[in-house]
A and B are shown apart, each in its own frame.
Chain A
Amino acid sequence: MKTKVFSLIVLLLTLSLSVSVFAAPFDPETFVYVGGAGGPQTLDPAAAYDTASGEIIHHVYDNLFQYINGELDNMGPMLATEVPTVANGLMSEDGRTIRVPIRQGVKFHDGSVLTVEDVRYSFMRGMLADPAGGPMWMFFEPLLGVQTMRDVIEMAGGSGDFADIKDVDPAILRKAYDLVAATMEVDGNDLIFHLVDPYPPFINILAKGGSWSAIVCQEWMVAHGDWDGNPDTWAKWYDLAVEDMTLYDQANGTGPFKLSTWDKSGAQVLLSRFDEYWQGPASLKSVVIKNIPELATRQLMLRAGDADAIYVGQEDLPQVRSMPDVVVIDGLPQVTNTVLFYSFTIPVEGNEDLVGSGKLDGNGIPSDFFADVNVRKAFNYSFDYEAFLQEVALGAGVTPVGPIPQSLPYVNTEQEYYYNDPAKATEYFKKAFDGELWEKGFEVGIVYNTGNNTRKTALEILEYNVERINPKFKVNVIGLEWATVLDKLRSASLPVFVMGWLMDFPDTHNFAVPFMHSAGTFAGYCGQGLIDLAKEQFDELVEAGIKATDPEEREKIYFELQKRYVDLAVGMPFMEATTHRVMRDWVQGFIYSPAYSAQYDYYTIQKVQK
Chain B
Amino acid sequence: MLTYIARRLLFLPVVLIGVTLLIFVAMSFLSPYQLVSTYIKSPEELKNQSLDDLVRKYGLDQPVHVRYVNWMKNLLRGDLGYSVSANMSVSEAIAKRFPATVELALFAIVPVVLGGIWLGTISAKHYNRPLDHFSRTFAIIGWSLPDFVFGLILLMVFYGVLGWFPPGRLSMWADSIVLTGDFVSYTGLNTVDSLLNGRPDIFWDSVRHLIAPVMTLSYLWWAYLLRITRSSMLEVMNKDYVRTARAKGLTEKVVMNRHVRRNAMIPVATVSGSMVLGLLGGVVIVETVFDYKGIGLLTATGAQQLDYTLILGTTLFYGMLLVLINLVVDILYAVIDPRVRLE
Contact = CB atoms under 8 A, between A and B. Distances in A.
B299 to A, nearest CB: 13
A24 B171 contact: yes
A334 B43 CA distance: 17
B57 A132 contact: yes
Contact of B48 (A293, A297, A514): A514
B48 A50 contact: no
Interface stretch (A75-83, A220-228, A480-488, A579-587): A480-488
Contacts of B160: 300, 303-304
Interface string A506-533: 0000000110000001000000000000
B156 A300 contact: yes
A134 B159 CA distance: 42
Interface string A140-157: 000000011010000000
Contact of A293 (B86, B208, B288): B288
A328 B187 CA distance: 42
B33 A490 contact: yes
A72 B115 CA distance: 62
A51 B205 CA distance: 33
Contact of A270 (B41, B49, B173, B176): B176
Contacts of A487: 31, 33-34
B33 A288 contact: no
Given A32-B172, A303-B160, A500-B43, A296 B289 contact: yes
A370 interface: no
Interface string B158-174: 01101111111101110
B155 to A, nearest CB: 6
Contact size range, A = 35 or more
B30 interface: yes
B211 A132 contact: no
A304 B164 contact: no
Contact of B171 (A22, A163, A262): A22
Interface stretch (A11-19, A90-98, A404-412, A600-608): A11-19
Nearest to B57: A132
B306 interface: yes
B53 A16 contact: no
A68 interface: no
Contacts of B97: 265
Contacts of B343: none
A300 B30 CA distance: 40
A609 interface: no
Nearest to B188: A265
Contacts, number: 171
Given A22-B204, A504-B47, A297 B167 contact: yes
A301 to B, nearest CB: 7
B179 interface: yes
Contacts of A38: 41
A16 B35 CA distance: 47
Interface in A9-58: 12, 15-17, 19-20, 22-24, 30, 32, 37-41, 49-51
B37 A482 contact: yes
5 contacts: A23-B171, A133-B50, A137-B48, A264-B88, A265-B293
Interface in A460-486: 482-486
Contacts of B173: 22, 24
A133 B167 contact: no
Interface string B128-166: 000000000000000000000000100110011011111
A502 interface: yes
A483 B46 contact: no
A264 B51 contact: no
A491 B53 CA distance: 15
Interface string B90-125: 000100110010000000000000000000000000
B179 A16 contact: no
A87 B86 CA distance: 50
A514 B49 CA distance: 11
B54 to A, nearest CB: 5
B93 to A, nearest CB: 7
Query: Which one of B47, B93, B162, B179 has the highest number of Cβ atoms from chain A below 10 Å of its Cβ?
Result: B47
Given A39-B87, A265-B88, A484-B34, 8 more contacts: A24-B173, A32-B172, A132-B53, A264-B87, A297-B291, A300-B155, A486-B34, A486-B46
A537 B137 CA distance: 72
A482 to B, nearest CB: 5
A576 interface: no
Contacts of A32: 172
Interface string B69-95: 000000000000010101111000100
Interface in B217-248: none
A424 B36 CA distance: 41
Those 6 A-B pairs whose CB atoms lie nearest each other, nearest first: A265-B96, A483-B37, A132-B53, A483-B34, A16-B164, A487-B33
